[in-house]
Amino acid sequence: MDFLVACAYAMGKEQGVARLAKILTGSDQVLGTNLKIWFEVCPMRPREREGKTHVDLAVGNIVRRQGTHSGITLENVESPWVCFCEMKWYSDISPNVSYDIHRNQLVRLIENALCFEGNGKYAAKVYVTLVTPLVFREASSRSRLYQYKFEEYSKDRSYVVRDLNVCALKKRSHRDRPFPDLSERLACLSLHWATYDELFENLPPSAIAAELRKFWREHGNYQGRK
């Protein structure tokens, strides 16, 4: 997954990054000068005793956290935005973590995105995007937990609050990174469901675009694809 998206879009070209950001967020974004796409990166964890969340893919006003290899923090710019992605092929989201049997992977990512900050500032716009094959987004019969949870959270944000409030893990108490009021932060949240189909249909011009489309034709023929 990382290889496919990285090859297609993370080539340091503004057009490719802009196109990827639009697909993942559903709207045009102001890119600024930091045209990076981040893979398997770790924001500061919002809960005690919980391991670092590895964000599959992230874009936006993001910089590397000093003294780390994969840690990230919010870039110090006016009205920053971020997009955290959970990317699934055939697998489902995890229904629990080590110390909380009710904490699902999607709400955990949402909380990490809402709590993501830098220099005491939070993102003005927060996008959390689920990326799956199209067949799961349009399926009339549901087979994945994320299909239920995404619809639930999209229709009524009170379900996000409910699932976050029942978390058994203590909120972080770091003096320089206090835990925010999530009910207020939810006003900044946009949930989006993108597909691998859209990513490959909108590949930016590049020397490897033809080979990537060929790879998609040969290996992207999952069951149910038209």
Whether 185 maps to a domain, the answer reads yes
Beta bridge partners of 131: 87, 194
Whether 225 maps to a domain, the answer reads no
Whether 67 maps to a domain, the answer reads yes
Alpha carbon distance 148, 117 (integer Å) = 29
| Amino acid in the structure at residue 83 | C
**3 state DSSP class of 128:** strand
Whether the CB-CB separation of 163 and 100 falls below 8 Å is answered with no
Q: What burial letters (b/e) apply to 14-39, b meaning 16+ CB within 10 Å?
A: eebbbbbbebbbbeebebeeebbbbb
Residue 9 pLDDT = 52
Alpha carbon distance 63, 55 (integer Å) = 14
Whether 102 maps to a domain, the answer reads yes
Whether 29 maps to a domain, the answer reads yes
Residue 11 pLDDT = 47
Residue 137 pLDDT = 94
Residue 226 pLDDT = 52
Whether 187 maps to a domain, the answer reads yes
| Amino acid in the structure at residue 120 | G
**3 state DSSP class of 191:** strand
Residue 203: domain span: 2-219
Per the structure, how many domains does the chain have?
1
- Give the mean pLDDT per block of 10 residues along the chain (226 residues): 48 73 94 84 92 93 94 95 95 89 95 94 97 91 96 96 92 78 93 91 77 76 57
